Amino acid sequence: MKVFAMFPRFSLIAAVATLIAVSVPAAQAQSVVVDADQRSELSLTVYQGGFALVHDVRQANLQSGSLTVIFPDLSDRLDIATIRLGAGENAQIRSLTFDREVLSAEALLRRAVGQRVRVARVNPATGVETFEDAEVLAVAPNLVLRIGDRIETALPGRIVFANVPNDLRPAPGIVAKVTLPSAGERSVSLSYLTDGVSWKTSYVGRLAAGADRMELIGWALVDNQTNTAYPAAELSLIAGQVNRANAVRPVFPQPVAQLARTEAVADGVSLGATGPYYRYALPQTFDIRPRQQTQVELIRSASVAFARMLRTQGSPLFSARSAKTMQPVTARLTIANETDNGLGLPLPAGVFSSFEEADGREVFQGGATVTATPVGTEMVVEIGQSFDVTFERTVLEFNRTGARNENIDTTQKLTLKNGGERPAEVEIIESFQGEWKIVRESTPHEQTSAFQATWKVTVPANGETSLEYRAQIGRR
């Protein structure tokens, strides 16, 4: 078999082969290739941190004694520190090598150093193709050929190889030295972590015009940025942030405690707790192709109550130099993650998009990233900035006190204006530092954290409302 390679511009890609453990038998061992077409099981457990656990099982008829088992067609971004290989009962795995070198024109040239190849050239005037024998003297950093009695450093034509080395394959693979006590059909299983596979949740909320309930759908978007295909793979998704260090043992699945089924889980999806995380197991298999995104329905609830809220957040500490400042008023949706609200299940972090019906058409209302929302808490979606409601801060007094001017005594006036036709409920949050207290205010506040005071006010339609407060702030 002849192999042709064209090199319009030669660039060498260094091959990397990493040895995990070394143990070479004295005798020549039989080599067996366990190909992907011998696969009996393939599963992916995908994590939100950008990696996945692959479990690949293939059937092979193996002889007893010392063998070299080749397990090809693996992820090009496999983490070699996490490989776990099994070959059935009483199998002894003596060494594992991850061979990243794959079949390519550059790899063929590297293997041909010191050997003879043929160079094909086409006469541009006549179109006649001629062949010359050449010896490959060097490949890196530049290609060097001996053709007859001359040395060529620029590729003079197309290189023709006589054959392909047996150990060059289209995708990376594992080469294992194995000792088996008996011959027969065995399940050869390989588990490993790979980078380049991730998932995230994409929430879509559809609101009826003027309503306070929405249809909520959560999609899982699985993104495979590797060059590896995972055909007919069982798919599980882990919700939560999993720590992962370099050169550690793989994150193998823990026992899954099934949760009581909630109507918000999409048909066929199984939800369970695994350690401190949650696992969504999808009901069917999927063809996960290289460089492809796959979207799967994960959550669906036909009627979820929500509240519209306006919020503005600032600090008196950053307004000392300006008598008046404006700051944005953001529009938010809050959704209670409760069973009696059509949810009541762990909601993974992701992206939320809001759509609302207007004159019979759907209009995009805005969206934002959302954090993981446990059961019993609220999902808050900041969909944009209010058009009608504006906020203005007026610094009435700002004095520094203390021996080193380390304390602040300030009086602030906060004014909200509403140009809309409906009253607006607005939450005002002021952030402080150090020791602080409100010594006078026109509207009572609530201390919502050690460093925040919150006021809730109603701004009338086509009107305005103001509040004043005096705060004393000191160092801790």
**What would the DSSP string read from start to end of 1-36?**
--EEE--SS-------EEES-----SSPPEEEE--G
Average pLDDT, consecutive stretches of 10 residues, N- to C-terminus, the chain (476 residues): 43 31 44 92 96 97 92 89 91 85 70 84 87 86 87 81 72 85 95 96 92 95 94 95 64 42 72 89 94 94 95 84 86 96 95 92 94 96 96 93 88 97 96 94 96 97 97 85
Structure tokens at 408: 């602040």
How many angstroms separate the Cα of 338 from the Cα of each of 268, 269, 371, 476?
A: 21, 19, 16, 39
pLDDT value, residue 304: 96
pLDDT value, residue 158: 84
pLDDT value, residue 297: 95
Please name the residues in contact with 4: beta carbons below 8 A apart, sequence gap of 6 or more: 120, 158, 159, 160, 161
pLDDT value, residue 130: 85
Counting every residue written for the chain, the total comes to: 476
Do 15 and 98 form a contact (C-beta atoms < 8 A)? Answer: no
Structure tokens at 421: 């036709």
CA distance 376 to 347: 11
The torsion angles phi and psi of 197, rounded to 5 degrees, stand at -120, 125
Tell the residue number behind the tokens 């983490």, with chain if given.
79
Domain ranges of the chain: 307-474
Number of helical H runs and strand E runs in the chain: 1, 35
Question: Hey, is 38 helix, strand or coil?
Answer: helix
